[in-house]
Structure 1
Protein backbone atom coordinates (compact mmCIF):
# COMPACT_ATOMS: atom_id res chain seq x y z
CA UNK A 1 0.00 0.00 0.00
CA UNK A 2 1.53 3.28 -1.11
CA UNK A 3 2.12 5.64 1.81
CA UNK A 4 1.11 8.52 -0.44
CA UNK A 5 -2.34 6.97 -0.90
CA UNK A 6 -2.85 6.76 2.85
CA UNK A 7 -1.65 10.32 3.35
CA UNK A 8 -4.05 11.51 0.66
CA UNK A 9 -6.90 9.54 2.22
CA UNK A 10 -6.36 11.20 5.57
CA UNK A 11 -6.19 14.65 4.02
CA UNK A 12 -9.31 14.08 1.92
CA UNK A 13 -11.30 13.02 4.98
CA UNK A 14 -10.37 16.11 6.98
CA UNK A 15 -11.10 18.37 4.01
CA UNK A 16 -14.50 16.84 3.23
CA UNK A 17 -16.17 16.35 6.64
CA UNK A 18 -18.44 13.54 5.35
CA UNK A 19 -21.93 13.04 6.79
CA UNK A 20 -22.15 9.44 8.00
CA UNK A 21 -25.63 7.96 8.44
CA UNK A 22 -25.35 5.43 11.28
CA UNK A 23 -27.92 2.71 11.78
CA UNK A 24 -26.07 1.17 14.67
CA UNK A 25 -26.66 -0.58 17.95
CA UNK A 26 -27.85 1.23 21.03
CA UNK A 27 -24.79 0.30 23.11
CA UNK A 28 -22.33 2.15 20.87
CA UNK A 29 -24.11 5.20 19.52
CA UNK A 30 -22.25 7.69 21.69
CA UNK A 31 -18.73 6.37 21.11
CA UNK A 32 -19.43 6.01 17.39
CA UNK A 33 -20.63 9.60 17.15
CA UNK A 34 -17.68 10.88 19.17
CA UNK A 35 -15.17 8.89 17.12
CA UNK A 36 -16.61 10.27 13.89
CA UNK A 37 -16.43 13.81 15.23
CA UNK A 38 -12.84 13.22 16.33
CA UNK A 39 -11.69 12.23 12.84
CA UNK A 40 -13.46 15.18 11.23
CA UNK A 41 -16.71 13.54 10.06
CA UNK A 42 -20.31 14.37 10.96
CA UNK A 43 -22.48 11.59 12.48
CA UNK A 44 -26.25 11.20 12.21
CA UNK A 45 -28.26 8.46 13.97
CA UNK A 46 -31.37 8.09 11.82
CA UNK A 47 -32.88 4.63 12.28
CA UNK A 48 -36.64 5.01 11.84
CA UNK A 49 -38.07 3.34 8.71
CA UNK A 50 -39.98 6.54 7.91
CA UNK A 51 -36.70 8.42 7.47
CA UNK A 52 -33.87 5.95 6.91
CA UNK A 53 -34.21 5.55 3.16
CA UNK A 54 -34.65 9.27 2.58
CA UNK A 55 -31.62 10.15 4.70
CA UNK A 56 -29.43 7.52 3.06
CA UNK A 57 -29.98 9.32 -0.24
CA UNK A 58 -28.40 12.55 1.06
CA UNK A 59 -25.71 11.16 3.38
CA UNK A 60 -22.09 10.81 2.32
CA UNK A 61 -21.97 7.21 3.57
CA UNK A 62 -24.10 4.74 5.50
CA UNK A 63 -23.20 2.35 8.35
CA UNK A 64 -25.44 -0.65 9.04
CA UNK A 65 -24.58 -2.39 12.32
CA UNK A 66 -26.89 -5.21 13.47
CA UNK A 67 -25.70 -5.33 17.09
CA UNK A 68 -29.04 -4.68 18.85
CA UNK A 69 -31.35 -5.05 15.88
CA UNK A 70 -35.16 -5.07 16.24
CA UNK A 71 -37.95 -5.51 13.71
CA UNK A 72 -38.28 -1.75 13.26
CA UNK A 73 -34.58 -1.08 12.82
CA UNK A 74 -34.19 -4.10 10.54
CA UNK A 75 -36.71 -2.53 8.18
CA UNK A 76 -34.83 0.77 8.34
CA UNK A 77 -31.56 -1.00 7.58
CA UNK A 78 -32.98 -2.67 4.50
CA UNK A 79 -34.40 0.63 3.27
CA UNK A 80 -31.16 2.53 3.87
CA UNK A 81 -28.99 -0.12 2.24
CA UNK A 82 -31.28 -0.40 -0.77
CA UNK A 83 -31.38 3.36 -1.25
CA UNK A 84 -27.60 3.66 -0.83
CA UNK A 85 -27.13 1.11 -3.57
CA UNK A 86 -29.56 2.87 -5.87
CA UNK A 87 -27.97 6.32 -5.55
CA UNK A 88 -24.35 5.17 -5.32
CA UNK A 89 -23.72 6.03 -1.68
CA UNK A 90 -21.02 3.82 -0.14
CA UNK A 91 -22.27 1.72 2.74
CA UNK A 92 -20.72 -0.53 5.34
CA UNK A 93 -22.20 -3.70 6.84
CA UNK A 94 -21.03 -4.67 10.33
CA UNK A 95 -22.49 -8.16 11.00
CA UNK A 96 -22.22 -8.09 14.79
CA UNK A 97 -22.68 -11.54 16.36
CA UNK A 98 -24.02 -13.02 13.13
CA UNK A 99 -24.19 -16.80 13.12
CA UNK A 100 -25.39 -17.39 16.65
CA UNK A 101 -28.88 -15.87 16.36
CA UNK A 102 -31.33 -16.59 13.54
CA UNK A 103 -32.99 -13.20 13.11
CA UNK A 104 -29.83 -11.14 12.69
CA UNK A 105 -28.20 -13.84 10.60
CA UNK A 106 -31.09 -13.86 8.13
CA UNK A 107 -31.11 -10.04 8.06
CA UNK A 108 -27.38 -9.93 7.38
CA UNK A 109 -27.80 -12.46 4.57
CA UNK A 110 -30.44 -10.20 2.99
CA UNK A 111 -28.17 -7.18 3.34
CA UNK A 112 -25.24 -8.95 1.70
CA UNK A 113 -27.40 -9.45 -1.38
CA UNK A 114 -27.68 -5.63 -1.58
CA UNK A 115 -23.90 -5.57 -2.18
CA UNK A 116 -22.32 -3.50 0.59
CA UNK A 117 -19.29 -1.44 -0.33
CA UNK A 118 -17.55 -2.86 2.73
CA UNK A 119 -18.17 -5.75 5.10
CA UNK A 120 -16.30 -5.22 8.38
CA UNK A 121 -16.30 -7.71 11.21
CA UNK A 122 -14.25 -10.15 13.22
CA UNK A 123 -13.22 -13.50 11.76
CA UNK A 124 -16.11 -15.51 13.21
CA UNK A 125 -18.66 -12.97 11.97
CA UNK A 126 -17.23 -12.93 8.45
CA UNK A 127 -17.12 -16.73 8.30
CA UNK A 128 -20.72 -16.98 9.49
CA UNK A 129 -21.90 -14.28 7.09
CA UNK A 130 -20.39 -16.22 4.20
CA UNK A 131 -21.98 -19.46 5.36
CA UNK A 132 -18.64 -20.97 6.37
CA UNK A 133 -19.04 -20.88 10.15
CA UNK A 134 -21.49 -20.64 13.04
CA UNK A 135 -20.27 -17.40 14.60
CA UNK A 136 -18.21 -16.70 17.68
CA UNK A 137 -18.99 -16.32 21.36
CA UNK A 138 -21.44 -13.43 21.18
CA UNK A 139 -19.49 -10.48 19.79
CA UNK A 140 -16.14 -12.21 20.44
CA UNK A 141 -14.34 -14.04 17.66
CA UNK A 142 -13.22 -17.63 18.13
CA UNK A 143 -11.36 -17.64 14.80
CA UNK A 144 -8.32 -15.76 13.52
CA UNK A 145 -8.27 -13.26 10.62
CA UNK A 146 -5.86 -15.49 8.69
CA UNK A 147 -8.26 -18.43 9.04
CA UNK A 148 -10.97 -16.29 7.47
CA UNK A 149 -8.85 -14.86 4.64
CA UNK A 150 -9.93 -17.21 1.86
CA UNK A 151 -13.58 -16.84 2.84
CA UNK A 152 -13.18 -13.06 3.01
CA UNK A 153 -11.75 -13.02 -0.51
CA UNK A 154 -14.65 -15.08 -1.81
CA UNK A 155 -17.16 -12.81 -0.06
CA UNK A 156 -15.49 -9.72 -1.52
CA UNK A 157 -15.71 -11.14 -5.03
CA UNK A 158 -19.36 -12.01 -4.41
CA UNK A 159 -20.31 -8.51 -3.26
CA UNK A 160 -17.94 -6.63 -5.54
CA UNK A 161 -16.70 -4.75 -2.49
CA UNK A 162 -14.10 -4.97 0.26
CA UNK A 163 -14.06 -7.27 3.28
CA UNK A 164 -12.12 -6.34 6.43
CA UNK A 165 -11.42 -8.88 9.16
CA UNK A 166 -10.38 -7.42 12.50
CA UNK A 167 -7.92 -9.06 14.87
CA UNK A 168 -4.43 -8.58 16.32
CA UNK A 169 -3.44 -7.95 12.69
CA UNK A 170 -6.36 -6.80 10.53
CA UNK A 171 -6.77 -8.36 7.08
CA UNK A 172 -8.39 -6.35 4.28
CA UNK A 173 -9.17 -7.68 0.80
CA UNK A 174 -11.08 -6.75 -2.33
CA UNK A 175 -11.00 -10.34 -3.51
CA UNK A 176 -7.66 -9.98 -5.28
CA UNK A 177 -5.47 -7.61 -3.28
CA UNK A 178 -4.73 -8.39 0.37
CA UNK A 179 -3.43 -5.84 2.89
CA UNK A 180 -2.57 -6.40 6.54
CA UNK A 181 -2.74 -3.62 9.12
CA UNK A 182 -0.78 -4.08 12.33
CA UNK A 183 -0.46 -2.04 15.48
CA UNK A 184 -3.30 -1.10 17.77
CA UNK A 185 -3.67 -2.19 21.39
CA UNK A 186 -5.40 -4.99 23.33
CA UNK A 187 -7.22 -2.22 25.21
CA UNK A 188 -9.42 -1.73 22.13
CA UNK A 189 -11.04 -5.08 22.95
CA UNK A 190 -11.78 -3.83 26.48
CA UNK A 191 -13.47 -0.63 25.31
CA UNK A 192 -17.20 -0.93 24.61
CA UNK A 193 -17.97 0.00 21.03
CA UNK A 194 -14.45 0.52 19.68
CA UNK A 195 -14.96 -2.07 16.95
CA UNK A 196 -18.38 -0.70 16.08
CA UNK A 197 -16.96 2.82 15.95
CA UNK A 198 -14.41 1.49 13.48
CA UNK A 199 -17.33 0.63 11.19
CA UNK A 200 -18.35 4.29 11.21
CA UNK A 201 -14.78 5.40 10.53
CA UNK A 202 -14.60 2.98 7.60
CA UNK A 203 -17.79 4.54 6.21
CA UNK A 204 -16.29 8.04 6.55
CA UNK A 205 -13.17 7.06 4.64
CA UNK A 206 -15.22 5.24 2.00
CA UNK A 207 -17.12 8.48 1.38
CA UNK A 208 -13.97 10.48 0.69
CA UNK A 209 -11.45 8.04 -0.81
CA UNK A 210 -11.87 6.86 -4.39
CA UNK A 211 -10.46 3.35 -3.95
CA UNK A 212 -12.50 1.38 -1.39
CA UNK A 213 -9.55 -0.83 -0.42
CA UNK A 214 -7.40 2.21 0.35
CA UNK A 215 -10.30 3.71 2.30
CA UNK A 216 -10.70 0.66 4.50
CA UNK A 217 -6.96 0.30 5.11
CA UNK A 218 -6.71 3.98 6.03
CA UNK A 219 -9.59 3.63 8.51
CA UNK A 220 -8.03 0.60 10.19
CA UNK A 221 -4.63 2.28 10.30
CA UNK A 222 -6.18 5.42 11.80
CA UNK A 223 -7.78 3.43 14.61
CA UNK A 224 -4.61 1.39 15.24
CA UNK A 225 -2.34 4.45 15.41
CA UNK A 226 -4.70 6.19 17.82
CA UNK A 227 -4.90 3.08 19.99
CA UNK A 228 -1.12 2.85 20.24
CA UNK A 229 -0.86 6.49 21.27
CA UNK A 230 -3.65 6.18 23.84
CA UNK A 231 -2.32 2.94 25.31
CA UNK A 232 1.03 4.58 25.99
CA UNK A 233 -0.67 7.07 28.32
CA UNK A 234 -3.63 5.14 29.75
CA UNK A 235 -3.85 3.73 33.25
CA UNK A 236 -6.44 1.18 32.12
CA UNK A 237 -9.49 0.77 29.87
CA UNK A 238 -11.39 3.71 31.39
CA UNK A 239 -8.75 6.31 30.70
CA UNK A 240 -7.88 4.59 27.42
CA UNK A 241 -11.36 5.26 26.00
CA UNK A 242 -11.06 9.02 26.50
CA UNK A 243 -7.44 9.14 25.38
CA UNK A 244 -8.31 7.14 22.27
CA UNK A 245 -10.80 9.79 21.17
CA UNK A 246 -8.14 12.46 21.66
CA UNK A 247 -5.68 10.39 19.67
CA UNK A 248 -8.16 9.86 16.84
CA UNK A 249 -8.33 13.63 16.53
CA UNK A 250 -4.53 13.89 16.37
CA UNK A 251 -3.93 11.34 13.57
CA UNK A 252 -3.31 13.07 10.24
CA UNK A 253 -2.23 12.07 6.75
CA UNK A 254 1.46 12.11 7.67
CA UNK A 255 0.82 9.73 10.55
CA UNK A 256 -1.17 7.40 8.29
CA UNK A 257 1.76 7.30 5.87
CA UNK A 258 3.89 5.78 8.67
CA UNK A 259 1.33 3.12 9.70
CA UNK A 260 2.16 -0.59 9.92
CA UNK A 261 0.58 -1.56 6.59
CA UNK A 262 1.78 -4.48 4.48
CA UNK A 263 0.53 -5.58 1.07
CA UNK A 264 0.56 -9.32 0.36
Structure 2
Protein backbone atom coordinates (compact mmCIF):
# COMPACT_ATOMS: atom_id res chain seq x y z
CA UNK A 1 0.00 0.00 0.00
CA UNK A 2 1.26 3.49 -0.87
CA UNK A 3 2.73 5.30 2.16
CA UNK A 4 0.92 8.55 1.32
CA UNK A 5 -2.37 6.66 1.17
CA UNK A 6 -1.79 5.05 4.56
CA UNK A 7 -0.99 8.41 6.19
CA UNK A 8 -4.06 10.32 4.92
CA UNK A 9 -6.34 9.57 7.91
CA UNK A 10 -3.66 10.61 10.44
CA UNK A 11 -3.44 14.26 9.40
CA UNK A 12 -6.75 15.26 11.04
CA UNK A 13 -5.42 14.02 14.39
CA UNK A 14 -2.23 16.06 13.96
CA UNK A 15 -4.35 19.11 13.19
CA UNK A 16 -6.51 18.77 16.28
CA UNK A 17 -3.51 18.28 18.52
CA UNK A 18 -1.77 21.38 17.22
CA UNK A 19 -4.85 23.67 16.71
CA UNK A 20 -3.17 25.77 13.98
CA UNK A 21 -3.86 29.50 13.72
CA UNK A 22 -5.13 30.28 10.22
CA UNK A 23 -4.94 33.90 9.06
CA UNK A 24 -7.62 34.58 6.46
CA UNK A 25 -7.84 37.57 4.17
CA UNK A 26 -11.02 36.43 2.51
CA UNK A 27 -14.20 37.78 0.98
CA UNK A 28 -17.06 39.34 2.91
CA UNK A 29 -19.60 36.78 1.72
CA UNK A 30 -17.91 33.84 3.46
CA UNK A 31 -16.18 35.22 6.55
CA UNK A 32 -18.55 33.79 9.16
CA UNK A 33 -18.90 30.38 7.50
CA UNK A 34 -15.13 30.08 7.04
CA UNK A 35 -14.45 30.92 10.68
CA UNK A 36 -17.07 28.47 11.93
CA UNK A 37 -15.81 25.73 9.61
CA UNK A 38 -12.24 26.09 10.82
CA UNK A 39 -13.38 26.08 14.43
CA UNK A 40 -15.50 22.98 13.86
CA UNK A 41 -12.57 21.16 12.28
CA UNK A 42 -10.25 21.97 15.18
CA UNK A 43 -8.26 24.94 13.86
CA UNK A 44 -8.21 28.53 15.12
CA UNK A 45 -9.35 31.20 12.63
CA UNK A 46 -8.40 34.85 12.54
CA UNK A 47 -9.69 37.39 10.04
CA UNK A 48 -7.35 40.39 9.75
CA UNK A 49 -7.39 42.73 6.76
CA UNK A 50 -5.89 46.08 7.77
CA UNK A 51 -2.51 46.64 6.13
CA UNK A 52 -1.28 48.06 9.44
CA UNK A 53 -1.50 44.63 11.13
CA UNK A 54 -1.51 41.90 8.49
CA UNK A 55 2.27 41.46 8.48
CA UNK A 56 2.32 40.84 12.23
CA UNK A 57 -0.63 38.46 12.01
CA UNK A 58 0.82 36.49 9.10
CA UNK A 59 4.08 36.12 11.02
CA UNK A 60 2.45 34.53 14.06
CA UNK A 61 -0.05 32.43 12.08
CA UNK A 62 0.53 28.82 11.05
CA UNK A 63 -0.89 29.46 7.56
CA UNK A 64 -2.10 32.41 5.51
CA UNK A 65 -5.12 32.06 3.19
CA UNK A 66 -5.67 34.70 0.50
CA UNK A 67 -9.09 34.77 -1.19
CA UNK A 68 -9.96 37.40 -3.83
CA UNK A 69 -13.72 36.80 -3.83
CA UNK A 70 -14.76 40.38 -3.06
CA UNK A 71 -11.79 42.16 -4.51
CA UNK A 72 -10.63 45.68 -3.62
CA UNK A 73 -7.37 47.51 -4.20
CA UNK A 74 -6.92 47.79 -0.44
CA UNK A 75 -7.31 44.04 0.01
CA UNK A 76 -4.76 43.30 -2.68
CA UNK A 77 -2.26 45.55 -0.91
CA UNK A 78 -2.97 43.80 2.38
CA UNK A 79 -2.58 40.40 0.75
CA UNK A 80 0.82 41.31 -0.66
CA UNK A 81 2.03 42.77 2.63
CA UNK A 82 0.82 39.69 4.52
CA UNK A 83 2.20 37.33 1.89
CA UNK A 84 5.67 38.84 1.98
CA UNK A 85 5.71 38.65 5.79
CA UNK A 86 4.53 35.04 5.63
CA UNK A 87 7.34 34.19 3.21
CA UNK A 88 9.94 35.65 5.57
CA UNK A 89 8.43 33.70 8.47
CA UNK A 90 8.15 30.46 6.43
CA UNK A 91 4.39 30.54 6.89
CA UNK A 92 2.62 28.63 4.09
CA UNK A 93 0.45 30.76 1.78
CA UNK A 94 -2.67 29.40 0.08
CA UNK A 95 -4.15 31.46 -2.76
CA UNK A 96 -7.77 31.08 -3.92
CA UNK A 97 -8.19 33.05 -7.18
CA UNK A 98 -11.99 33.30 -7.00
CA UNK A 99 -13.43 34.30 -10.37
CA UNK A 100 -10.06 34.68 -12.09
CA UNK A 101 -10.78 35.21 -15.77
CA UNK A 102 -14.21 36.75 -15.15
CA UNK A 103 -12.65 40.23 -15.33
CA UNK A 104 -9.22 41.45 -16.30
CA UNK A 105 -8.83 43.10 -12.88
CA UNK A 106 -9.23 39.78 -11.10
CA UNK A 107 -6.74 38.02 -13.32
CA UNK A 108 -4.23 40.87 -13.11
CA UNK A 109 -4.57 40.97 -9.31
CA UNK A 110 -3.81 37.25 -9.03
CA UNK A 111 -0.78 37.63 -11.28
CA UNK A 112 0.46 40.54 -9.19
CA UNK A 113 0.08 38.59 -5.95
CA UNK A 114 1.87 35.59 -7.43
CA UNK A 115 4.68 37.78 -8.73
CA UNK A 116 5.32 39.35 -5.33
CA UNK A 117 4.48 36.46 -2.99
CA UNK A 118 5.73 32.87 -2.99
CA UNK A 119 2.60 30.73 -3.04
CA UNK A 120 2.59 27.34 -1.31
CA UNK A 121 -0.64 26.16 -2.95
CA UNK A 122 -2.96 27.53 -5.63
CA UNK A 123 -6.52 26.23 -5.23
CA UNK A 124 -9.53 26.89 -7.43
CA UNK A 125 -11.92 25.37 -9.92
CA UNK A 126 -10.70 24.32 -13.35
CA UNK A 127 -11.58 27.57 -15.13
CA UNK A 128 -9.97 29.76 -12.46
CA UNK A 129 -6.72 27.80 -12.49
CA UNK A 130 -6.70 27.66 -16.28
CA UNK A 131 -7.14 31.41 -16.56
CA UNK A 132 -4.40 32.12 -14.02
CA UNK A 133 -2.06 29.88 -16.01
CA UNK A 134 -3.09 31.27 -19.40
CA UNK A 135 -4.79 28.05 -20.52
CA UNK A 136 -7.86 28.76 -22.64
CA UNK A 137 -11.05 28.42 -20.59
CA UNK A 138 -14.21 30.36 -19.89
CA UNK A 139 -15.47 31.77 -16.59
CA UNK A 140 -18.99 32.96 -15.82
CA UNK A 141 -19.13 34.76 -12.50
CA UNK A 142 -17.14 32.59 -10.11
CA UNK A 143 -18.12 29.28 -11.72
CA UNK A 144 -16.29 27.30 -14.37
CA UNK A 145 -17.75 26.33 -17.74
CA UNK A 146 -16.47 24.71 -20.93
CA UNK A 147 -13.15 23.46 -19.62
CA UNK A 148 -11.02 20.38 -20.24
CA UNK A 149 -10.48 17.69 -17.61
CA UNK A 150 -9.26 18.74 -14.17
CA UNK A 151 -6.27 16.42 -14.24
CA UNK A 152 -4.89 17.83 -17.48
CA UNK A 153 -5.37 21.44 -16.40
CA UNK A 154 -3.71 20.76 -13.05
CA UNK A 155 -0.64 19.27 -14.70
CA UNK A 156 -0.31 22.03 -17.29
CA UNK A 157 -0.95 24.83 -14.79
CA UNK A 158 1.55 23.46 -12.28
CA UNK A 159 4.18 23.24 -15.01
CA UNK A 160 3.51 26.77 -16.25
CA UNK A 161 3.23 28.40 -12.81
CA UNK A 162 5.76 26.22 -10.94
CA UNK A 163 3.47 25.91 -7.92
CA UNK A 164 1.50 23.04 -6.32
CA UNK A 165 -2.11 23.06 -7.51
CA UNK A 166 -5.48 21.82 -6.26
CA UNK A 167 -8.44 21.85 -8.63
CA UNK A 168 -11.85 21.08 -7.19
CA UNK A 169 -14.93 19.90 -9.01
CA UNK A 170 -16.82 16.67 -9.56
CA UNK A 171 -13.41 15.02 -9.14
CA UNK A 172 -10.74 16.84 -7.14
CA UNK A 173 -7.10 16.86 -8.18
CA UNK A 174 -4.05 17.65 -6.05
CA UNK A 175 -0.60 17.96 -7.59
CA UNK A 176 2.75 18.62 -5.90
CA UNK A 177 6.35 17.48 -6.37
CA UNK A 178 5.56 15.60 -9.56
CA UNK A 179 2.90 13.43 -7.89
CA UNK A 180 -0.85 13.66 -8.30
CA UNK A 181 -3.90 12.43 -6.43
CA UNK A 182 -7.47 12.09 -7.67
CA UNK A 183 -10.15 12.38 -5.00
CA UNK A 184 -13.73 11.30 -5.60
CA UNK A 185 -15.22 12.21 -2.23
CA UNK A 186 -17.73 15.03 -1.90
CA UNK A 187 -21.32 15.82 -2.86
CA UNK A 188 -22.97 18.15 -5.36
CA UNK A 189 -24.90 19.81 -2.52
CA UNK A 190 -21.68 21.69 -1.79
CA UNK A 191 -22.44 23.73 -4.93
CA UNK A 192 -25.78 24.86 -3.45
CA UNK A 193 -24.21 26.68 -0.48
CA UNK A 194 -22.20 29.85 -0.91
CA UNK A 195 -18.72 29.70 0.53
CA UNK A 196 -18.08 25.96 0.59
CA UNK A 197 -15.15 26.31 -1.81
CA UNK A 198 -13.74 29.23 0.14
CA UNK A 199 -14.00 27.22 3.36
CA UNK A 200 -12.17 24.38 1.65
CA UNK A 201 -9.28 26.72 0.80
CA UNK A 202 -9.05 27.67 4.47
CA UNK A 203 -9.16 24.01 5.48
CA UNK A 204 -6.37 23.27 3.02
CA UNK A 205 -4.40 25.95 4.85
CA UNK A 206 -5.09 24.25 8.17
CA UNK A 207 -3.89 20.87 6.93
CA UNK A 208 -0.79 22.34 5.27
CA UNK A 209 -0.03 24.15 8.53
CA UNK A 210 0.50 20.82 10.29
CA UNK A 211 1.86 18.62 7.48
CA UNK A 212 4.97 19.54 5.47
CA UNK A 213 4.18 17.15 2.62
CA UNK A 214 1.96 19.37 0.45
CA UNK A 215 0.47 16.49 -1.52
CA UNK A 216 -0.39 14.51 1.62
CA UNK A 217 -1.81 17.58 3.38
CA UNK A 218 -3.89 18.61 0.37
CA UNK A 219 -5.21 15.10 -0.23
CA UNK A 220 -6.12 14.66 3.42
CA UNK A 221 -7.96 18.00 3.43
CA UNK A 222 -9.93 17.17 0.28
CA UNK A 223 -10.83 13.70 1.53
CA UNK A 224 -11.85 14.92 4.98
CA UNK A 225 -13.99 17.72 3.60
CA UNK A 226 -15.54 15.50 0.94
CA UNK A 227 -16.50 12.78 3.40
CA UNK A 228 -17.95 15.35 5.80
CA UNK A 229 -20.10 16.62 2.92
CA UNK A 230 -21.27 13.11 2.05
CA UNK A 231 -22.25 12.39 5.64
CA UNK A 232 -23.95 15.79 5.98
CA UNK A 233 -26.05 15.13 2.88
CA UNK A 234 -27.11 11.69 4.09
CA UNK A 235 -28.52 13.22 7.25
CA UNK A 236 -30.23 16.20 5.57
CA UNK A 237 -31.19 14.91 2.10
CA UNK A 238 -34.90 15.35 2.83
CA UNK A 239 -34.42 18.94 3.99
CA UNK A 240 -32.19 21.06 1.75
CA UNK A 241 -29.14 23.32 1.58
CA UNK A 242 -29.84 25.27 4.78
CA UNK A 243 -29.82 22.14 6.91
CA UNK A 244 -26.90 20.77 4.89
CA UNK A 245 -24.79 23.82 5.68
CA UNK A 246 -25.33 23.41 9.41
CA UNK A 247 -24.79 19.66 9.30
CA UNK A 248 -21.55 20.14 7.32
CA UNK A 249 -20.17 22.06 10.31
CA UNK A 250 -21.35 19.27 12.62
CA UNK A 251 -19.67 16.62 10.49
CA UNK A 252 -16.41 18.56 10.28
CA UNK A 253 -16.40 18.56 14.09
CA UNK A 254 -17.18 14.85 14.37
CA UNK A 255 -15.16 13.29 11.54
CA UNK A 256 -12.29 11.08 12.69
CA UNK A 257 -9.58 8.78 11.38
CA UNK A 258 -11.92 5.79 11.27
CA UNK A 259 -14.42 7.67 9.09
CA UNK A 260 -11.68 8.77 6.72
CA UNK A 261 -10.15 5.31 6.48
CA UNK A 262 -13.57 3.79 5.76
CA UNK A 263 -14.90 6.27 3.20
CA UNK A 264 -11.94 7.85 1.38
CA UNK A 265 -11.79 7.44 -2.39
CA UNK A 266 -8.26 8.32 -3.51
CA UNK A 267 -6.11 7.38 -6.48
CA UNK A 268 -2.41 8.26 -6.29
CA UNK A 269 -0.28 8.74 -9.39
CA UNK A 270 3.50 9.07 -9.49
CA UNK A 271 5.45 10.92 -12.13
CA UNK A 272 2.49 13.04 -13.25
CA UNK A 273 4.78 15.70 -14.67
CA UNK A 274 7.01 13.34 -16.63
2:244 corresponds to: 240
Q: Does the aligned pair in 1 maintain the 2:190–2:196 contact within 8 Å?
A: yes
> 1:152·1:175 contact (CA, 8 Å) conserved in 2?
no
Output the aligned Cα RMSD.
1.6
| Corresponding residue for residue 253 of structure 2 | 249
Structure 2 residue runs of 5 or longer lacking an equivalent are 270-274
Residues 65-94 of structure 1, C-alpha deviation per residue, up to 9 Å, x if partnerless? 000011111100111111111221011000
Closer, same or farther in 2 for the Cα pair 1:239/1:188, shift >3 Å?
Answer: same
Match of 1:19 in 2: 21
CA-CA distance at 1:152 after TM superposition: 2.1
> Taking structure 1 as reference, are residues 70 and 125 closer, same or farther at Cα in structure 2, changes over 3 Å only?
same
Aligned equivalents of 1:139, 1:199: Cα separation in 2:
15
Residue number among 181, 187, 192 corresponding to 2:183 in the alignment: 181
**Distance in 1 (alpha carbons) for counterparts of 2:161 and 2:210:** 20
In structure 1, runs of 5+ residues without a counterpart are: none
Cα offset, 1:5, TM superposition: 1.2
TM value normalised by structure 2: 0.91
Asked if the contact 2:99–2:142 (Cα under 8 Å) also holds between the matched residues in 1, the reply is yes
In the alignment, the residues of structure 2 paired with residue 238 and residue 198 of structure 1 have an alpha-carbon distance, to the nearest angstrom, of: 18
Query: After superposition, what is the alpha-carbon deviation per residue over 1:152-202, rounded to whole angstroms, capped at 9, x for unaligned?
Result: 224334555420100111011115211011121111000110000000000
Distance 1:214 1:143, change over 3 A: farther
* Structure 2 counterpart of 1:262, from 257, 260, 267: 267
Which runs of at least 4 in structure 1 moved beyond 3 Å after TM superposition? 157-161
| Residues 135 and 62 (structure 1), Cα distance of their counterparts in 2 relative to 1, 3 Å cut | farther
Q: How does 1:57-206 map to 2 (within 5 A)?
A: 57-113=59-115, 114-143=117-146, 147-157=149-159, 160-174=162-176, 176-206=178-208
- In structure 2, relative to structure 1, the CA distance for the partners of 1:180 and 1:6 (3 Å cut) is same
Q: Provide the C-alpha distance between the structure 1 equivalents of 2:156 and 2:171, rounded to a whole number of angstroms.
A: 20
TM-score (norm 1): 0.95
Equivalent residues of 2:130, 2:157 under 8 A apart: no
Tell me how many residue pairs correspond in the alignment: 263
1:115 match: secondary structure: coil
Partners of 2:92 and 2:46 in 1: how far apart? 15
